C-alpha cells in the first residue's frame, strides 16, 4: 500500500544546459533533499526525447512521506520572506544558470504504485534504456476509477509487452481529471514493439474501448534517465 505523496516537475532548460542541470539536480541536490527538514527521496530525473516532447526539458519526480511530510517540507521552504531556504542560496543561484522555469504538480499514488524502496530493487526498472511518460486526461472525478481499472485490466498485459510500472498517480488539487503513469522499457527495441502493439494489438484496442468515456485524451513522450538518477543506478545520489 503506497501512502506517499509525490512532486512531479517539468523543467524548462536553457539552451545546452541539460547535462549540467541534471548533474546539479542529482549530485548537487540529492543529499539536500534527504535532509530531515525536507525528507525527499528522488524517484527519478529524466531528460525528455525532443522528438516526442518539449525540448530541451527535464522531468523530476520526488517522493514525500505522506501529506504531513510534504507539509513539513513546504513549511520549512516558505518560512522566510524569500520563500526559499536561505541555506540553499548557492544551490539556487547555480540552478538558475541552466533552467528558465517549469511546471509542478502534486501526485497521489494508486495503492499499487511502487515506492522508491521498491523501484530501486526492481531489475526490470533500474538500468532501463528508455521510459514512457503518459499524461492522461479523464472525465472529472474519474481518475481513481481509471487507476483501479488499470490495475486489473491493463497492468498484466502491459508487462507482457515490455512495460514495467514505475508509477501510477492522479493529480491532486484539481478535479480528479488527470492521471500520470511512468513505465520503464528495457531497450529501444522494446519501445518499437510497444508502439506496434499500440497500433495493432487486439488487447490494446480492447483496453482503449473499455476506457472510452473515461479517458478523454492522452499524451505520451519518451524519457532517458540522467546518469545519476536512481532509475539508472538503483541508489539515491
The answer to whether position 231 is within a domain reads no
Rounded Cα distance between 178 and 135, Å, is 7
Domain stop point among 47, 76, 109: 109
Ranking 51-55, 77-81, 153-157, 212-216 by mean pLDDT, the lowest is 77-81
Residues 124 and 103 in one domain: no
**What pLDDT does residue 106 have?**
98
**What pLDDT does residue 49 have?**
97
Residues 17 and 54 in one domain: yes
Q: Quick check: 18 pLDDT over 90?
A: yes
* Cis bond upstream, residue 56 (ω within 30): yes
Parent domain of 195: 116-225
CATH number where 174 lies: 3.30.70.100
The answer to whether position 186 is within a domain reads yes
Residues 92 and 134 in one domain: no
The answer to whether position 233 is within a domain reads no
Banded pLDDT at 201 (limits 50, 70, 90): very high
Q: If you ran DSSP here, which 8-state letter would residue 110 be given?
A: -
Residues 123 and 59 in one domain: no
**What pLDDT does residue 61 have?**
98
Residues 129 and 221 in one domain: yes
The answer to whether position 170 is within a domain reads yes
Q: Quick check: 224 pLDDT over 90?
A: yes
- The C-alpha angle with vertex 216 and arms to 214 and 217, in degrees rounded to 5, equals 135
Residues 71 and 137 in one domain: no
Q: How far is CA 168 from the centre of its chain?
A: 9
Residue with the bigger pLDDT between 84 and 42: it is: 42
Helix, strand or coil, per DSSP, at residue 221: strand
Residues 69 and 121 in one domain: no
Beta-carbon count within 10 A of 53 CB = 18
Domain stop point among 109, 127, 142: 109
**What pLDDT does residue 94 have?**
93
Q: Kindly state the average pLDDT of the residues 71-94.
A: 89
Domain stop point among 60, 77, 109: 109
Checking phi first, is residue 162 left (phi over 0); if not, alpha (psi -120 to 50) or beta? left
Residue with the bigger pLDDT between 232 and 92: it is: 232
Q: Quick check: 47 pLDDT over 90?
A: yes
The answer to whether position 235 is within a domain reads no
Residues 138 and 76 in one domain: no
Banded pLDDT at 87 (limits 50, 70, 90): confident
Banded pLDDT at 80 (limits 50, 70, 90): confident
Domain count, the chain: 2
Q: Quick check: 30 pLDDT over 90?
A: no
Residues 124 and 199 in one domain: yes
The answer to whether position 147 is within a domain reads yes
Residues 132 and 173 in one domain: yes
- Share the mean pLDDT of the chain: 96
Q: Are 166 and 121 in contact (CB under 8 A)?
A: no
Summarised one tens digit per residue, pLDDT across range 107-148 is 999 999 999 999 999 999 999 999 999 999 999 999 999 999
Residues 126 and 213 in one domain: yes
Q: Kindly state the average pLDDT of the residues 184-213.
A: 95
The answer to whether position 172 is within a domain reads yes
Q: Kindly state the average pLDDT of the residues 83-102.
A: 91
Rounded Cα distance between 111 and 117, Å, is 15
Residues 182 and 131 in one domain: yes
Q: Quick check: 84 pLDDT over 90?
A: no
Exposure pattern of 122-142 as b/e (b: 16+ CB <10 Å)?
bebbbebebbbbebbebeeeb
Amino acid at each position: 500500500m503506497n501512502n506517499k505523496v509525490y512532486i512531479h516537475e517539468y523543467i524548462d532548460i536553457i539552451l545546452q544546459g541539460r547535462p549540467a542541470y541534471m548533474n546539479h539536480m542529482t549530485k548537487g541536490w540529492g543529499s539536500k533533499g534527504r535532509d530531515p527538514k525536507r525528507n525527499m527521496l528522488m524517484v527519478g530525473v529524466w531528460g525528455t526525447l525532443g522528438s516526442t516532447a518539449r525540448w530541451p526539458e527535464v522531468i523530476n519526480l520526488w517522493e514525500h512521506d505522506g501529506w504531513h511530510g510534504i507539509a513539513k517540507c513546504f513549511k520549512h521552504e516558505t518560512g522566510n520572506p524569500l520563500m526559499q531556504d536561505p541555506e540553499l542560496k548557492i544551490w539556487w543561484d547555480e540552478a538558475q544558470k541552466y533552467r528558465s522555469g517549469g511546471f509542478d504538480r502534486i501526485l497521489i499514488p494508486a495503492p499499487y504504485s511502487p515506492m522508491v524502496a521498491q523501484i530501486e530493487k526492481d531489475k526490470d526498472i533500474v538500468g532501463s534504456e528508455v521510459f514512457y511518460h503518459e499524461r492522461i486526461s479523464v472525465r472529472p472525478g474519474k481518475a481513481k476509477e481509471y487507476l483501479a481499472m488499470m490495475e486489473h485490466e491493463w497492468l498484466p498485459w502491459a508487462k507482457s509487452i515490455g512495460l514495467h510500472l514505475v508509477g501510477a498517480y492522479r493529480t491532486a488539487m484539481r478535479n480528479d481529471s488527470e492521471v500520470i503513469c511512468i513505465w520503464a522499457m528495457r531497450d529501444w527495441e522494446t519501445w518499437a514493439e510497444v508502439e506496434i502493439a499500440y497500433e495493432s494489438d487486439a488487447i490494446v484496442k480492447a483496453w482503449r474501448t473499455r476506457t472510452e468515456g473515461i479517458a478523454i485524451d492522452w499524451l505520451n513522450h519518451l524519457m532517458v534517465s540522467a546518469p545519476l538518477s536512481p532509475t539508472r543506478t538503483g541508489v539515491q545520489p
